[in-house]
């Protein structure tokens, strides 16, 4: 069992207030309002989110990845706020590519500190990564908005055209397929991406480096991709995740930190996410 007291002290000493509020909500029975308020602090006047909410992009301006993080956190913590979500959708609609959806990185990143892989793509096309993850969360909440309608149709097109997707594109696709209402179509789409998913996933829990394990693609028992992995494989990865708590009480990420500030923020995110995944899978019982 993870040491919650050690995790709490790690977050108090090293993480953002946002992660402390998430931890209090998810692990200590805290209220939803402090999480909502912490997320709202990253909101901009245009309805989007920025201010380095997504640690790799440290522009104050709104970015699709920051919107994705905001909506995911609100959903995960049961702190959903229709006003914040509607404002985010309005920003997405106003800044969407011609085909709909959301870009991966908006041009406002230029001139601000950011990870080297955060570069706007030529022509600013819709990103399966951003669009799928945002749309998935909105569908999980039963949201309705013109941006989501267009994004949903676009996602079906993008998934149907996938040939050799990157692992991060699969995250976007599976987040969308986890929650889109058309379950029959989602099952058919999963069958289409299954070969790519099996190629991208690393089944060895002890594999070093930036690998993508089954819990990344199927984090909860009701994830659409969970039946692709047997119980023993999932159990082994849950054992590994539980044992990955470090002596300082926190977890870490398996990808490079491009700055000390980003590295510290990601460790806080990873700590709360690890505890949430363990709880979702029955490995962490909260009194």
**Segment 11-45, tens digit of pLDDT:** 999 999 999 999 999 999 999 999 999 999 999 99
The residues spanned by each domain of the chain are 35-200
- How much is the pLDDT for 1? 86
- How much is the pLDDT for 248? 98
Mean pLDDT of 103-132: 97
Take residue 259 and report the two structure tokens written for it: 């700055």
CA dist list (Å): 144 to 76, 83, 90, 140? 19, 13, 12, 11
**Segment 210-258, tens digit of pLDDT:** 999 999 999 999 999 999 999 999 999 999 999 999 999 999 999 999 9
**Segment 140-195, tens digit of pLDDT:** 999 999 999 999 999 999 999 999 999 999 999 999 999 999 999 999 999 999 99
Rounded Cα distance between 58 and 52, Å, is: 4
The model's pTM: 0.97
Q: Which residue has the tokens 């570069």?
A: 119
């Amino acid at each position: 069992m993870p040491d919650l007291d050690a995790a709490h002290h790690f977050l108090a000493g090293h993480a953002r207030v946002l992660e402390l509020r998430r931890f209090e909500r998810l692990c200590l029975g805290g209220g939803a309002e402090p999480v909502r308020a912490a997320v709202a602090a990253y909101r901009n006047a245009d309805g989007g989110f920025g201010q380095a909410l997504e640690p790799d992009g440290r522009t104050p301006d709104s970015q699709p990845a920051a919107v994705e993080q905001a909506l995911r956190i609100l959903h995960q913590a049961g702190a959903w706020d229709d006003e914040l979500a509607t404002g985010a959708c309005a920003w997405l609609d106003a800044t969407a590519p011609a085909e709909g959806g959301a870009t991966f990185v908006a041009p406002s990143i230029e001139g601000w500190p950011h990870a080297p892989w955060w570069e706007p793509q030529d022509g600013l096309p819709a990103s399966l990564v951003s669009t799928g993850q945002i749309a998935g969360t909105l569908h999980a909440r039963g949201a309705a908005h013109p941006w989501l309608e267009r994004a949903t149709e676009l996602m079906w097109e993008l998934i149907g055209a996938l040939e050799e997707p990157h692992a991060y594109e699969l995250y976007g696709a599976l987040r969308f397929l986890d929650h889109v209402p058309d379950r029959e179509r989602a099952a058919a789409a999963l069958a289409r991406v299954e070969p790519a998913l099996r190629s991208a996933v690393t089944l060895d829990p002890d594999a070093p480096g930036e690998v993508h394990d089954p819990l990344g693609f199927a984090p909860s028992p009701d994830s659409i991709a969970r039946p692709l992995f047997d119980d023993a494989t999932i159990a082994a990865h849950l054992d590994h995740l539980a044992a990955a708590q470090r002596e300082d009480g926190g977890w870490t990420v398996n990808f490079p930190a491009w700055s000390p500030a980003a590295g510290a923020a990601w460790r806080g995110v990873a700590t709360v996410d690890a505890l949430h995944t363990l709880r979702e899978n029955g490995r962490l019982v909260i009194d």
